[in-house]
Structure formats: structure tokens, C-alpha cells
Chains A and B, each alone.
Chain A
Amino acid sequence: MAFERFTGDARAAVAAAREQARTSGRHAVESEHLLLALAARPEFGLDASRLADAFAHEEERSLAAIGLAAGEFESGAGGRARREPRFATSSKLALQRAVAIAAKRGDRRLTAGHVLLGVLAAEHGRVPRALQLAEVDVDELRARI
């Protein structure tokens, strides 16, 4: 990923997403970590803790759909977070979409808003499912960015 054209805000959001992945014990940065990192910023009017609950709820519902309960498997040593978690396909795709959206708009710099638009561009997967559970009006949010 070429980060040269990213503004300070966009870089900070990507760094915060890595931190999100690390603290939740994941070994890769997913698009959900980008969304949670962006939701923690005041300018988008998102409720980060409500979204975090929605991601947990999404997981419970998805497991329940195949007859499983989430269970309690917390490990005392924490998850297998790396010092530098890699970017999973979902987060790479979100960043590629952010770059494409900025290019299409003729914007020279890539902002945190472009990153959010890239994350919101996903039609399938955990991000749109959690946004729906959190009752976020994605069209309205997109129009505001």
C-alpha cells in the first residue's frame, strides 16, 4: 500500500486500526478495525462503543445460525497479536477503494474521510452487517463525508 499521499489524519486512522487489531488479540488488521478506529474520531458522528457491540452481536448471531454459542475462551496470555499486524484482504480492499474514490473525486491527498468511504464501500461481510445491526444510516453518513 502506498501511504505517501495519505494525510496525517488518514495515517493516524490506519495506525489506530492496527492498535484495534492488536488490543483485540487479532493477528491481522481487518476492515472492521479500520471502521472502529474511524468511529473513535469525533468528526464522523459515529458511536464507537455501539459499533463494537454490533460487531460482537454480529458474531453471536452468525454462530447461532449454525447452532453454536460464542462461548468463553479468553486466554490469559492474550491473543496472538503481532507487533506489526499484517493487513488482511478486507482492510487492503478498503484502502484500495479509498485510493480509487480519492482519484475519482480528483482529490490529491487521501484523508480519513476517504478511508471511511473505502470501508463503507463493502457490500458484504462483517462491516455492513454490523452497521445494519447498529442502525447506522450508511447513505446519510456517506453524504456527510
Chain B
Amino acid sequence: MIAAPPTLPDDPADALAAVGALRRLADRVEDAAVERAIADGWSWADVAEALGVTRQAVHKKHARRLHRAGIARGGR
């Protein structure tokens, strides 16, 4: 038996709250995924290409915390 696919909540307040929750979830998944890739030796350019954003954008967002945690090292 296949569960029915999710649909938009009837109450606009619930539907809009889901958007915010989804954005926060996406941020957490991105943080964890970028960390995993860099730890596995991916370059910032490869991570950027996989995400479909510029290298500068991904570097600006994640480099500091990953350097601080000792996961990313020098270079780009």
C-alpha cells in the first residue's frame, strides 16, 4: 500500500509555516552535506558546481565554520 503524497495544508497559516520550516531544514541539510563533501576531499569549486551556485557563494557561507572546525584547510 502506498501512502498518499503530501498535499498543501488547508490552513494558510500551516502552509506558510511549512515553508519556513522547510527553509530551516534545507539550511541544516546543506550545512551537513557541504561539511561531508569537504571532509571527503571535494574542492569548493566541485561543491559549488554540485549545488549550482558560485564558488564564492559556497565559500562565503561555509568556509569559516569548516576552517574553524579543522575540516577545511587553506586554499579554495
Contact = CB atoms under 8 A, between A and B. Distances in A.
Nearest to A60: B21
Interface stretch (A5-13, A35-43, A67-75, A98-106): A67-75
B69 A79 contact: no
A101 to B, nearest CB: 24
The dominant DSSP class at the A interface is loop
Contact of A63 (B21, B32, B71): B21
B16 interface: yes
The dominant DSSP class at the B interface is helix
Contact of A62 (B5, B17, B35, B61): B17
B9 A77 contact: no
A106 B73 CA distance: 55
Interface in A38-97: 58-59, 62-63, 65-68, 70-71, 73-82
B18 A66 contact: yes
Contacts of B8: 66
B61 A59 contact: no
20 contacts: A25-B28, A59-B24, A59-B25, A62-B17, A65-B14, A66-B6, A66-B9, A66-B18, A71-B29, A73-B32, A75-B31, A77-B31, A78-B65, A79-B27, A79-B31, A80-B27, A80-B61, A80-B64, A81-B65, A126-B17
Interface of A: 25, 58-59, 62-63, 65-68, 70-71, 73-82, 124-126, 129
